[in-house]
Every structure is written in C-alpha cells, then in structure tokens.
Amino acid sequence: MLEQIVKRNNVKLLGHGRQVLVFGHGFGCDQYVWSEIAPAFEDKYRVVLFDYVGSGKSDKSAYSTERYGTLHGYKQDLLELCDALEFENIVFVGHSVSSMIGMLASIERPELMDKLVMIGPSPFYMNEDGYYGGFERTDINELLDMMELNYKEWAKYLAPVVMQNEDRPELAQEFEQILCSNDPVIARQFAEVTFTSDVREELEKVSVPTLILQPQFDAIAPPEVGRFVHSRIDGSELIVMEAMGHNPHISDAEETIAHIQAFLDR
C-alpha cells in the first residue's frame, strides 16, 4: 500500500525534523512550484512534496472522473498519503484549491492536522448576491471552453493573468510551461472541479489554527475572498502580502517563507 501511494502521488520526502510539513500544489501545477519554498524548512521539518493524481509525475493511470469529480477525491489522496506514511500532527500548506482540499481533510480528521496554511484560498470562485468570488458563471464557461478548444493558447493567455508582475515576464513564461506540462483532458476536468466547487459552508467547521496568506492583488482569488475565508474560520489569521499575483510562492518566495515560518514559530 505504501509503495503504491508513493508511486501514485509521486511522493518525495525531504528534511530531518520531527514535525511533518506537507505542501499541496494548486490546479494546473505540481510539486515543482515549491522548489523555492521547501528547502527553507528542511533543517527543522520533515518536508513532504507530492503530486495530485493527474498532475505532474503522478500515476495518471490511477485517475478516474468518478473519484476526482469532486474535491473529496483529492482530499482522500491526501489522507491516504498521510496514513500510509504514518504521519501525525502535520502542518499542511496548500495553495489555491489545495487550501480547500487541506481544509476538508482537517475537518474529517482534525487530529491529523496541527496547523493549516492557506495561500490564495477560495471556497467559491463565482459571484452571487452578497458574495464576490471574482468570476461570473459565463467567465468560467468561457475558460473551460477555451481549454477544450486550444489548451496551449489557454495556457498562454492565463499565465500572465495569474502571475501578474509584468516587469518580470519570465514568471509568466515559467508558469505557462508548468501549465503546458499537464494532460489537457485531465487539466480541464480538474479546472471544472476547482472553479465550480462551493465549500463555503465548510469553513466554519475548521478547528485547527489557520493562516491565510492573501496577495494584495490576485485576479484568481481576490482580497475580498481572503477576507471572507478569514471571517468564517474562527481564530484564523489573515496576512495581506506585499506580493502580487496568485502564486506568491513562485514570485515572492522569501516573503512567503517568512510568513509561514513566523506562523509556525508562534
């Protein structure tokens, strides 16, 4: 079982500490996005990197639309990974949709998770009366249609929107390459799950200490969403970062590391 899950999720174990620090990537990404973050924690923590099934170098033959048609399939991956490796009292750092996957895992198994770090989280990406998610339903439909029609053009369009930092075009170029490394069919299905899931009612069930890192300008998960998440998770801490764009762990690794480290030290 252990060997199967390690292969399925392309699990990498690094570091030497007693407490386990698990990093979960967002939609369209893989564990590579933590390459500037993870090494900063290897001296004090057992660092775990992995790819969700269908992403990166995971075992794509394990992918099924039945299991991964909701966020709960990805949550199950995370729980099975932790159980197979006999982890306890982990710190989970999740980016974007992975924040919500980690949240769902913490609700189901609060004894497993010691702390939760959310980077650019969103429990629901679409606007409704009284709630600003950042997208209209037509925006999401157009995005999904574009992925189906021409995946590479979609990646070329989306990368600079996600990354911002126009003065550093290499960031968008790098992120475009990450997006293009995905299987287009699986990526489109993961996108639909990501952008149409609504887990707002789950937020108030979170019982573990939670840090929310919100970039000051984020076209995918706007600051209004970060404030909403903070208002619904009792005792959570919200930090509005200097970083711009949806991927501060790529664009502003030092600031991201500093905030996570300070939270872990408290």
User: What residues are annotated to the active site?
Assistant: 96, 218, 246
Distance CA 20, CA 6 (A): 16
DSSP code of 131? B
Judged by DSSP in three states, 48 sits in strand
Q: Which of 71, 103, 76 is nearest to 193 (CA)?
A: 71
**Residue 81: both structure tokens together:** 């990974």
24, β-bridge pairs: 94
The H or E element spanning position 238 is strand 237-244
Contact 225, 134 (CB under 8 A): yes
